[in-house]
Amino acid sequence: MTVLNMLHKIREFIEKNKIRPSDCIYHTYRPVANRNKELKGEIRILVMNDNIARCEYICPECGKYDYLEKKWKRPFSVKCKNCGYLIRVPRMKDEIKRSKSGV
Ligand SMILES: [Zn+2]
């Protein structure tokens, strides 16, 4: 199983609720780096009009998968439930464009 296949929860949420890109205020899917700046993890974030960030990730430090929902704010970061590593999600200029083609 690849890392990409492990991030399934948001994909299923999108399919089940027939979410279109126009329903989202933010949607990103990107690799994230560990302490040694190696891109060992992945994070996917979906924010709808309710301002709740639905977020799932593979921690780049410990490799554990988790899903959580929290209030959306920028800059966004997630603390790994397993090892406590803080996964930061930096701004990216093309993130809206990219996510639209990726849905
Ligand atoms: Zn971790």
Question: How far apart are alpha carbons 55 and 77 in whole angstroms?
Answer: 10
pLDDT tens digit sequence for 67-89: 999 999 988 999 999 999 999 98
Using CA atoms, how far residue 52 sits from 34, 40, 63, 69, 102, in Å, is 25, 26, 25, 7, 20
Give the number of domains in the chain: 1
* CA atoms within 13 A of residue 101's CA, in its CB half-sphere: 4
CA of 28 to the centre of ligand 1 (A): 20
14: containing domain: 3-102
Q: State the average pLDDT over residues 36-61.
A: 96
Cis peptide before 75 (omega within 30 of 0): yes
CA of 99 to the centre of ligand 1 (A): 25
**Global pTM?**
0.82
CA of 15 to the centre of ligand 1 (A): 28
CA of 32 to the centre of ligand 1 (A): 12
CA of 14 to the centre of ligand 1 (A): 26
